Structure 1
Amino acid sequence: MAKSGSSKQRLRPIVRLGIILISRSFVVSVFCCAAGVVALLLLPILANNTYVSENALMPGSANSMLSNQDVADAYKLVKELGDLRLKSNNVDVESQRLVARYISELGADVNYHEFNPGLTKFSPLKFFSSPDFGISQDDNNCSANGVNIIGIVRAPQGDGKESIVLVTPYDSSNARFTDYLSLGIAYSVFSLLSQVTWLAKDVVWLVADSRYGEYSSVSSWLQDYHAPVFYSRGTGHSSLCNDTLLLHGGTKNNAIMDKWCSSDGLRRGGTMSAAFVLKVADDSEPFQDTLKIYAEASNGQMPNLDLVNIVNYLAIHRQGLHVEVRKFFSLSDAKWLEFLGKVFEWVGMVARTLNPQWKFGIPTADYVDGTATLASSLYHQALGIPTGSHGAFRDYQVDAVTLEFSLTRYSMNRGSKDFIMRESIWKGGSLLAVSSGSLLHIRGHCFWLIEGVVRSVNNLLEKFHHSFFLYLLTSPGKFVSVGIYMIPFALLVAPLPVVAAALYTEANNSATSTEGDQLSSQNAWENDYTISKTSWTWLKAAKEVMIVHLWAAAVTLFPYYICEIPNWSPVGRLALWGLLSTAFLGLFFWLLGSPSASNRTGKEYVALLKSVTISAAFIGLDLMSVVNFATAEFGALLLVPMCLMVQPIQLDLKVRRLRNLLRVGFNLVLGLLGFLPVTFYMIKGIFDDFDDLKLDDFWHWLESLWAWNSATYLFLGMVHLPCWLLCLRILFHS
């Protein structure tokens, strides 16, 4: 007896703590889940002000050098492009030749890049990699459809090993006035940079042919930029070279041929330090110039926060622009969110009365706006789809953002088309034109901002690394770091291993104890600490979980073959996918054998099945948090309550108490919401409009996920779907 008592007291504190947590798994689950949701709602309050971590950036340390001549040349380019569209029939080639001529006149290197836009196609082997949108300079297909124009200013103070990239999307066949403005803004800054003496990094200006999509043109250029292809004349690229010469002006002498076709024809700068995509939005703000920043890339990747910080700092403190990031405006009008903000504001006031140093709580308006922005940041990271062509750079570990200018519109008397064009340039922050042909005033909001950002990056001595790569934005000037936003996720998934261990222990102790000798969970752990090694029945539950996960992997690959069927509507493909999934589920259980409880009662087997299911969900959520945290966060909000609360309906209906009936209702609601099409249509209806829902929207959404090789698609197919099906299996177990 003494020996038994001494061995019992030798248990380590960590083991004793585990025993206590497992014996009180219900309390732990309720506390952790509630704390995780509250912590998630507190993130806008816990957000920190942004700051520039890298001192070498020195934003705003120099005055602008933009001259009247740079702006006037930009106006001439925009004016000629507008006139060309009205006069020329071959506007595509002529406009590209015109832009190239302007770049060449600056003394910069000018280059054409031809590419095939290709077709997006589901490829299960390309997840976690960049989407293959373009196949450029292919030996077997020289009929390129898109042509990018590249201008390179060589840095007088540099060694050619680093570069800064400016990107301007331009649809030459269907150019809008905003496209001309984008070109004008970028050209004026490029013109200035071709003359300065302080430049230490090459500046590459990419006029991206966006006829086939902004992303595909940039992605194709980056692919060839980082993986050059060398060839010589007569090797199957005569078509490419002839097209390039046609754009260059039709000259076909040997010197030009050697210049353009002796290699892959693509001029390069150094290693890219940063990239900026410059756009002018179609909409306009009635009172102030607005800058919108887009930063999300594929699979939730974000650029270094310092890049966003210098843009935000210069735009607000130097140029007086109103800076915005994406947010859900539907949440901005939510009454429950406003009420929650008032509660947190009141708690903060009470805390400050107790101790003035406690700085908890923010104004209600700031909380609502911060929550709407945080939800948008989480949502777009969770999708895993880039919010602009800047995402192509992040696939090559280059920090990049898209800067979109929404310009102030003033009511003025427009006397002619010529005046409208000059007025639009003035709205871009560059020129003020008041009559025929006279330029009387120069402003520089957009131009000075881009110049200042390029100058800051030019000061950088190394790659961005001082600030955060893992963060969520609650406003352009506030962020939540990884050390804070991981807390809600950790609290949400913490109950999963505890409950899984408790269920396994309960089932094991029920099988080894005699009838009428039922012990409490804690006493069972303390008295029966050494678990019987002869009990291997849990492998049958593990077998069923494995079968379901194998089925889910097959279902995830079905679109690869369904997309090969020509002339099928999205609704038809979605229906075929559902039929194949159902048929294969029965086939898997028939081939691998349907598990049975054998010598165990149904209640014991259900406990083991739930334990293994929860363990699989825990592993899947943890792995996904490494790849894309936002996806794991949304997945935890759906899967954790569903896995923890699920219990056979038959057991609750036998008792027929209010608590049991409520649990049945919650389980049915969670099971319905866990079904992916229902979840999709509910979210789309809440944030958009239920009247605009279409049956094929779900298929188009999934197509967008696998076309962009989003890891979210793998999570939905190989983690969420099998866990949902196993929960239904437990729910309707008899």
Structure 2
Amino acid sequence: MALAETVLRKIHKLGLIPKIIKFLPLCSFLLAVSSILYLISLPMDGNYRNTYISENALMPAQVTSYFRESEWNIVRGYRESITKLSDQDVSSRNKILESWLEQLGLTTSYHVNGFANDTLYAIMHAPRGENTEAMALVVPWATSEGKYNSGAMALAMGLARYFTRMSIWSKNIVFVFPPDSRKSLRSWVDAYHTDLDETAGSIEAAVVLEYDETLGDYFEFIDMFYHGLNGQFPNLDLLNTANVINYHENIKVSIEGIDNKNIDYTTRLLTLVKGIISSCLTGLTQENTNGCEEFSGWQIQAITLRARTKDKGEEHRDITQLGRVVDGTFRSVNNLLEKFHQSFFFYLLMSSKNFISIGTYLPAAVILAVSLAISALSAILSIDRNEAISNLSFILRTFTYVEIVCLGLALSIPKLVATSEGDQVSAVSLLVLSSLGFLSVGSIFFKKRLSKTITFSLISLSLLLISLLITALLIVHFSLALMIGILVLPLTFVPTLMNQFTGQDFKDKAYIGTIICLIVSNPFFVVLTAGNVLGNGSDLFEGLVLAWNDLQCWTWLVVILGWFPCWIVITGCFMFYKIDIDELLKKKLQ
């Protein structure tokens, strides 16, 4: 006790507490910078790990696949027939495909989704199974890029014919042929687990296959996609299994579209950054909808394999090699006696051979959350705490009103966008921004102003809530938590800039700086700007709003009920803030 009393007296004598409070904004900024520096240091040697197979039962590439030259002409014949169907509608194609599948002895059925063409699927019952477990091979009629998926269709038919001649299967195999790899596939997955009559048991793993009509007989490499909805990833063992089989087939694998010929710090960093962005945008844009994410939420490990060709002069692989990759992957999954559980479910890939686990990358978002919390502490310590407590009911009531308004927006905007045309979607976005701009201008003429105590209390609470939001998202959706943390960083400068106001007009640099911080941290501004940068225009906004109803992706709810209310409150505090003249005079005298 004596030692503690001595230390406290020394602190009080040196005036350390006011000095520490003064440096809190700088501390918050340095923490934010250190978070970004930590993130970009992860691809350095020693911070990442090499991929490996955790589940010994998978035994990838331990058997010889006989899907070779003997099946070449079969696949080519199917492809020629399927190519001739390109001018027909999906229902007509499905009827022909159904007849082929029935000739092979498969059980066929349809899922009527009610909003697009029906989804055809076929079940191959395992000769050694108990009809309780299954694997799925998904081949949409149109690739995620909108091209005719004739090569993958032919390959699926060739594999179906090949699989039926084998007696090794202990798990059923489901062949799914949706019109597209987005809403139609998601509808089938939901229906499979709820109300479909023909099912094949619990689906352990799924492979979505894309081989468009422009590739011909050969391809150069495979693009592998693994991101799921709401931050979910498939078990790392499934990706590693496919990678090992690709290696034995001498097929190059690309992650996030990054060439893995020369893996160095730059390519690892680029893959990491693109992976984080892709995870945030999965299900929101057409470019980030690859099919595997539609299985999220049902404990199904899913990946997408897309055949690619970039350099015509490169040595190419034939289509049957991709078939052997699917065959080998299914054989490995067929060996499992239980669900995937050994390897990682939380990870970020930096190449097909390197990854970082959750314990390594998590501190980057944690530091951002601490940075926001310190900024909130700095704001609340700059005012009279007793007066803040006396206004607590008003502060909480204000937040409640704002949250109710945002809840109304969360429910009404999706309905408005769903019933609007493309041009009208842009109008809806601009309407929201215009309304906020109108409120900003109108506040200048509004006579009632907020005191510094109420203003900084509301700002502090807003920053604290964003910090808690990031903390809550850390594990379940690290990428979204990190992106929100980075994008709201300008809000941490607002209380510091408002303390430097010398007037509330455009002659004051701090006033202009606050406006800039508020604009660049507005979620709608960020979404529309990102949409234009990505070349999607208002498509990103539309995908964000509709993703919850279509795919059960809750990014929209996080933005409109978490990020946006806090931004509204901080913006309102800025608009209705009343400068204390006496305090301003004291600052000028000092």
Q: TM-score range by the shorter chain?
A: 0.7 to 0.9
2:335 paired residue number = 459
Residues 1:109 and 2:106 aligned together: yes
Q: Contact 1:408–1:427 at 8 Å: present in 2 too?
A: no
> Aligned partners of 2:415, 2:324: CA distance in 1, in Å?
52
Aligned-partner SS, 1:550: helix
2:206 paired residue number = 275
Residues 1:295 and 2:226 aligned together: yes
Please tell me the residue identity of whatever aligns with 1:700: E
Change (3 A) 1:546 1:713: same
> Aligned partners of 1:277, 1:406: CA distance in 2, in Å?
15
Per-residue Cα deviation, 1:116-167 (whole angstroms, up to 9, x for no partner): 342xxxxxxxxxxxxxxxxxxxxxxxxxx63433332222232222111111
1:497 CA drift (Å) = 3.0
2:279 paired residue number = 381
Q: Say what the alpha-carbon RMSD is for the aligned residues.
A: 4.1
1:183 CA drift (Å) = 1.9
1:579 CA drift (Å) = 6.6
TM-score of the superposed pair, with normalisation by structure 1? 0.66
1:578 CA drift (Å) = 5.2
Please tell me the residue identity of whatever aligns with 2:564: L
Per-residue Cα deviation, 1:53-93 (whole angstroms, up to 9, x for no partner): 1111111111112254433333332233345669xxx7756
1:485 CA drift (Å) = 1.5
2:318 paired residue number = 429
2:401 paired residue number = 547
1:718 paired residue number = 561
Tell me the percent identity: 20
Per-residue Cα deviation, 1:616-662 (whole angstroms, up to 9, x for no partner): 22222223335422111111112234224434547433699xxx95x
Please tell me the residue identity of whatever aligns with 1:475: S
Change (3 A) 1:384 1:323: closer
Aligned-partner SS, 1:272: strand
Aligned-partner SS, 2:299: coil
1:149 equivalent among 101, 120, 123: 120
1:614 paired residue number = 463
Aligned ranges for residues 120-159 of structure 1 at < 5 Å?
Answer: 146-159=117-130
Please tell me the residue identity of whatever aligns with 1:714: L
1:559 CA drift (Å) = 1.0
Residues 1:473 and 2:349 aligned together: yes
Per-residue Cα deviation, 1:187-219 (whole angstroms, up to 9, x for no partner): 2222222122322211122233x1xx3333323
1:323 paired residue number = 253
Aligned ranges for residues 469-548 of structure 1 at < 5 Å?
Answer: 469-508=345-384, 535-548=389-402
1:328 CA drift (Å) = 7.9
Change (3 A) 1:75 1:463: same
> Aligned partners of 1:171, 1:675: CA distance in 2, in Å?
36
> Aligned partners of 1:407, 1:596: CA distance in 2, in Å?
62
Aligned-partner SS, 1:374: helix
> Aligned partners of 1:535, 1:104: CA distance in 2, in Å?
74
Aligned ranges for residues 199-210 of structure 1 at < 5 Å?
Answer: 199-208=169-178, 210=179
> Aligned partners of 1:84, 1:676: CA distance in 2, in Å?
45
Q: Comparing 21-30 with 621-630, which one deviates more in the overlay?
A: 21-30
Aligned ranges for residues 323-362 of structure 1 at < 5 Å?
Answer: 323-327=253-257
Aligned-partner SS, 2:485: helix
Q: Contact 1:551–1:585 at 8 Å: present in 2 too?
A: no
1:674 paired residue number = 521
Residues 1:400 and 2:302 aligned together: yes
2:572 paired residue number = 729
1:562 paired residue number = 416
> Aligned partners of 1:655, 1:387: CA distance in 2, in Å?
46
2:50 paired residue number = 49
Change (3 A) 1:560 1:508: same
1:274 CA drift (Å) = 0.3
Q: Contact 2:218–2:317 at 8 Å: present in 1 too?
A: no
Q: Contact 1:112–1:147 at 8 Å: present in 2 too?
A: no
Q: Contact 1:293–1:324 at 8 Å: present in 2 too?
A: yes
Per-residue Cα deviation, 1:669-696 (whole angstroms, up to 9, x for no partner): 32221123432344345555xxxx85x5
Please tell me the residue identity of whatever aligns with 2:99: R
> Aligned partners of 2:466, 2:142: CA distance in 1, in Å?
46
Please tell me the residue identity of whatever aligns with 1:273: E
> Aligned partners of 1:97, 1:605: CA distance in 2, in Å?
68
Q: Contact 2:28–2:371 at 8 Å: present in 1 too?
A: yes
1:700 equivalent among 542, 545, 549: 542
> Aligned partners of 1:557, 1:220: CA distance in 2, in Å?
21
Aligned ranges for residues 655-666 of structure 1 at < 5 Å?
Answer: 661=509, 666=513
> Aligned partners of 1:161, 1:614: CA distance in 2, in Å?
49
Residues 1:186 and 2:187 aligned together: no
Change (3 A) 1:668 1:502: closer
1:252 paired residue number = none
Q: Contact 1:646–1:731 at 8 Å: present in 2 too?
A: no
Change (3 A) 1:32 1:650: closer
1:418 paired residue number = none
Q: Contact 2:35–2:367 at 8 Å: present in 1 too?
A: yes
Change (3 A) 1:550 1:219: closer
> Aligned partners of 1:91, 1:156: CA distance in 2, in Å?
35
Q: Contact 1:163–1:201 at 8 Å: present in 2 too?
A: yes
> Aligned partners of 1:644, 1:102: CA distance in 2, in Å?
65
Q: Comparing 612-621 with 51-60, which one deviates more in the overlay?
A: 612-621
Q: Contact 1:558–1:577 at 8 Å: present in 2 too?
A: no
> Aligned partners of 2:118, 2:503: CA distance in 1, in Å?
71
> Aligned partners of 1:115, 1:319: CA distance in 2, in Å?
39
> Aligned partners of 2:194, 2:217: CA distance in 1, in Å?
46
Q: Contact 1:162–1:273 at 8 Å: present in 2 too?
A: yes
Aligned-partner SS, 1:400: strand
Per-residue Cα deviation, 1:295-335 (whole angstroms, up to 9, x for no partner): 1122222111111111112112x111111122589xx9xxx
Change (3 A) 1:185 1:58: same
Change (3 A) 1:595 1:548: farther
Please tell me the residue identity of whatever aligns with 1:169: P
Aligned-partner SS, 2:457: helix
Please tell me the residue identity of whatever aligns with 2:472: L
1:396 CA drift (Å) = 1.7
> Aligned partners of 2:528, 2:61: CA distance in 1, in Å?
47
TM-score of the superposed pair, with normalisation by structure 2? 0.81
> Aligned partners of 1:565, 1:612: CA distance in 2, in Å?
36
Q: Contact 1:113–1:221 at 8 Å: present in 2 too?
A: no
Change (3 A) 1:71 1:102: farther
Change (3 A) 1:698 1:647: farther
Q: Contact 1:381–1:630 at 8 Å: present in 2 too?
A: yes
Q: Contact 2:152–2:212 at 8 Å: present in 1 too?
A: no
Residues 1:37 and 2:14 aligned together: no
> Aligned partners of 2:149, 2:251: CA distance in 1, in Å?
21
Q: Contact 2:68–2:321 at 8 Å: present in 1 too?
A: no
Count matched residues: 554
1:66 paired residue number = 67
> Aligned partners of 1:391, 1:640: CA distance in 2, in Å?
30
Q: Contact 2:125–2:171 at 8 Å: present in 1 too?
A: yes
Aligned-partner SS, 1:299: helix
Change (3 A) 1:537 1:148: closer
Q: For structure 2, list consecutive stretches of 5 or more residues without a partner in the other structure.
A: 9-15, 579-590
